[in-house]
Amino acid sequence: MMKTYAFAVVGALGNVGTEMRGILEKSDLPIEKLVLMDVAGNAGKKVSWRDQEHTVVESKPEAFSGLDIAIMSAGAEASLQLSPEAVKRGCVVIDNSSAFRMAPEHPLVVPEVNADALADHQGIIANPNCSTIQMLVALKPIHDKFRVKRVVVSTYQAVSGSGQGGVDELLKQTLACTKGEKMQSSVYPHQIAFNVLPHIDTFQENGYSGEEMKMINETAKILDPNIRITSTTVRVPVATGHSESLNIETEKPFEVDQIKKLMAESPGIVLEDEPDKNIYPLAVKTAGKDAVYVGRIRRDFSTENAINMWCVSDNLRKGAALNTVQIARELINRDLVRVE
């Protein structure tokens, strides 16, 4: 008989939590029981899942008793408080916040890249930043075959990365603009409609934003600390789907067709690269999809062994919810759903 598991989704009514519920609902994971948790104000709300009505409960330590896996998307502060309590009760936590990403004792995992790191999770696995995940899915096969030396990444990130408030602000500002009314900004420091903001997260003393440093530091932890990487992260007026321009320099020489073939054959990647037919990855077409889409692959003639590519993925799915569910699947497949 197949072993079954008791799951929880924490932050179940948020944007990412909602995606998690939807992905779990359609998955074939052996889920015997699902507990939906959220803030006290949402406790008691009813949610339909697999044709059954589930009542949301408050996220508190005792709610984790008897659970096997908790997928958390409740923010770093809540995760720092709740995750150790869940582990004490024998529950393995997959955390979508920044709380444990750089903690050396907990793995930071993209299943297509470093699933083997799950072997020593000590009860908590961190889900990387959305922009890091899609970049590393594309970089991993190139690194394995040609050894990546340096990456210059510029991102074009959707407002849903800021939560539902970012989406609402973009829609309200767009509507106000069409009516000739003044646009109000509260989520972002400047107007986001018909604009781009080179500002995601807070700025650090070194001049980089928090988002930029996440991409740099997480790449070192997940893929290879020897890769030199620099990042510019930008918010754009797109609802869903992060886009990235990647300039990748390798140690070994390659042919462009070899890179395209690698991308076409690698797990989690869809190659869309026929620019003469206007075929290349688009945020509007990747929304709601699971894969990382790559295209516009071309040689960088300005230096040796370098290539440019365009990389797009749904930031709420592969960039967050889907990656956590894939981690859960790996834990189950590898028989690692235990706290030691």
Domains and CATH numbers, the chain: 5-128+320-333 (3.40.50.720), 132-315 (3.30.360.10)
101: left (phi over 0), alpha (psi -120 to 50) or beta: alpha
Contact 81, 38 (CB under 8 A): no
Q: Check 106, 143, 242, 311 and give the catalytic one.
A: 242
Active site residue 130: yes
Looking at residue 78, its pLDDT comes to 95
Q: Quick one: average pLDDT of 274-295?
A: 97
pLDDT of residue 2: 75
Q: Which of 106, 130, 143, 311 is catalytic?
A: 130
pLDDT above 90 for 121: yes
Task: For residue range 9-62, list pLDDT tens digits in order.
Answer: 999 999 899 999 999 999 999 999 999 999 999 999 999 999 999 999 999 999
What is the per-residue pLDDT across 230-260, written as a single tens digit (0 to 9) for each? 999 999 999 999 999 999 999 999 999 999 9
CA dist 207 and 226 (Å) reads: 22
Judge whether residue 185 has pLDDT over 70.
Answer: yes
Q: How far is CA 263 from CA 17, 145, 253, 293, 294, in A?
A: 30, 12, 17, 9, 8
The whole-model pTM stands at 0.95
Query: How are beta strands 52-55 and 46-49 bridged, if at all?
Result: antiparallel
pLDDT score for 1? 66
Question: Whole-number mean pLDDT of the chain?
Answer: 96
Please indicate whether residue 163 or residue 169 has the higher confidence score (pLDDT). Answer: 169
What letter would DSSP give residue 209?
B
Give catalytic status of residue 199 as yes or no. Answer: no
What does the pLDDT average to over 186-211?
Answer: 97
